[in-house]
């Protein structure tokens, strides 16, 4: 019903402009065909107005503002060029008006196009802050999707070691919601876990959390959006994604990797130290047994296959640090 009424209104508007064009041309006098031509002209102008309304209605206000700002700057530069340089060179010759018109048209068009293209990076909050007193820089930290689903960020925030403002981008929330609505039960559980973790963090009185609405429509990848937002806010990016960490570091963004923090906090085990562990399963090599420390560090034990399910004393022979974590190699301290 609403669409039908809009169509009727648009047709009526075009008809009204046609009638006004016809009456205006008739009032000026002349043959009948001039009045008919005036009616067609009025109707065509009405159609252009409706078309422009439909087109401009789909354009974000930010884009329109950027285009107008660029147009204004282009015309200002054209006037500076005309009245500071060309007015002296041309000295009011016959071609002066045409040169002035071309310069204004060219600079105006250039400013309009540049303002239109750069409008997606325009933020009115930045313009407002330009005229206001500078505020102290906040210690922003942007959370990515993977570190929220991981859940350890909530435990880290409870310890009080994580200072500053935690930034949760709106596009990350949308991605979490999309994962939580997935038909795949595993993805759905991961998404819901991420939303629960955010709720847990927000409930903490001593943790400041902000939902950031800024988006980058021309950037499709979430990781690229996170890096761009971290650059603008001069924030650190908290993640556990190895590839995102490396890409962000290459672009000058500081990274706080939760996996690296977990590895750094694991207890130090030195070669020659004797520890007691429970052999849980068989290793890849012949006769090897596998055990784990309380923090999840894997221990590979020579000749321990026959002790699966038992507690044994292991003498550490070497420690290997990898990108995935730490591995400990050892041998049985006693054969009993």
pLDDT in tens, 85-124: 655 655 666 666 676 777 777 777 788 778 777 765 655 5
Quick: pLDDT tens for 214-226: 888 888 899 999 9
CATH number for 140-263 (one of 3.10.20.30, 3.40.190.10, 3.40.50.1010, 3.40.50.2000): it is: 3.40.50.1010
pLDDT band at 336 (very low <50, low <70, confident <90, very high): very low
User: Regarding predicted confidence, which is higher, 168 or 19?
Assistant: 168
Q: For 193-217, how does the pLDDT look when each residue is reduced to its tens digit (9 = 90+)? A: 999 998 888 887 778 888 888 888 8
Q: Give the rounded percent of residues in the chain with a pLDDT score beyond 90.
A: 15
Strands 255-257 and 298-302: unpaired
d(Cα 153, Cα 210) in Å, to the nearest integer? 15
Separation between Cα atoms, residue 80 and residue 100, nearest integer Å: 11
| pLDDT band of 291, cuts 50, 70, 90 | very high
Three-state SS annotation for 117-129: HHHHHCCHHHHHH
Average pLDDT of the chain to the nearest whole number: 80
Taking CA atoms, 201 is separated from 194, 230, 239, in Å, by 11, 20, 16
Evaluate if residue 133 carries a pLDDT over 60: no
- How close are the terminal C-alpha atoms of the chain, in Å? 87
Of the options 1.10.357.10, 2.40.50.140, 2.60.40.10, 3.30.470.10, the CATH number for the domain spanning 274-332? 2.40.50.140
Q: Domain map of the chain by residue range?
A: 2-120, 140-263, 274-332
**Confidence at residue 323, expressed as pLDDT on a 0 to 100 scale:** 62
Query: Rounded to two decimals, what is the model's pTM?
Result: 0.51
């Amino acid at each position: 019903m609403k669409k039908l009424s809009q169509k009727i209104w648009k047709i009526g508007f075009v008809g009204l402009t046609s009638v006004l064009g016809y009456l205006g041309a008739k009032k000026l006098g002349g043959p009948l065909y001039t009045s008919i031509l005036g009616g067609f002209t009025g109707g065509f102008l009405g159609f252009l107005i409706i078309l422009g309304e439909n087109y401009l209605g789909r354009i974000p206000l930010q884009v329109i503002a950027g285009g107008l700002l660029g147009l204004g700057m282009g015309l200002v530069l054209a006037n500076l060029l005309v009245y500071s340089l060309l007015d002296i060179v041309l000295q009011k010759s016959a071609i002066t008006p045409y040169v002035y018109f071309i310069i204004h048209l060219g600079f105006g068009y250039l400013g309009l196009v540049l303002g239109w293209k750069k409008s997606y990076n325009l933020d009115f909050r930045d313009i407002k802050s330009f005229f206001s007193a500078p505020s102290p820089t906040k210690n922003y930290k942007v959370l990515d999707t993977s570190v929220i689903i991981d859940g350890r960020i909530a435990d880290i925030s409870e310890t009080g070691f994580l200072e500053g403002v935690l930034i949760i981008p709106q596009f990350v929330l949308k991605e979490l919601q999309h994962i939580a609505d997935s038909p795949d039960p595993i993805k759905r559980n991961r998404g819901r876990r991420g939303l629960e973790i955010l709720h847990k963090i927000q409930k903490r009185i001593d943790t400041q959390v902000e939902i950031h609405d800024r988006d980058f429509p021309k950037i499709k990848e979430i990781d690229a959006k996170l890096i761009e937002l971290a650059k603008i806010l001069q924030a650190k990016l908290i993640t556990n994604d190895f590839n995102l960490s490396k890409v962000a570091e290459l672009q000058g963004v500081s990274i706080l990797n939760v996996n690296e923090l977990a590895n750094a906090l694991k207890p130090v085990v030195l070669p020659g130290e004797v520890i007691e562990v429970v052999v849980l399963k068989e290793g890849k090599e012949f006769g090897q047994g596998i055990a784990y420390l309380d923090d999840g560090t894997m221990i590979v034990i020579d000749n321990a296959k026959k002790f699966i399910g038992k507690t044994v004393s292991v003498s550490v022979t070497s420690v290997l640090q990898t990108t995935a974590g730490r591995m400990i190699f050892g041998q049985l301290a006693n054969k009993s």
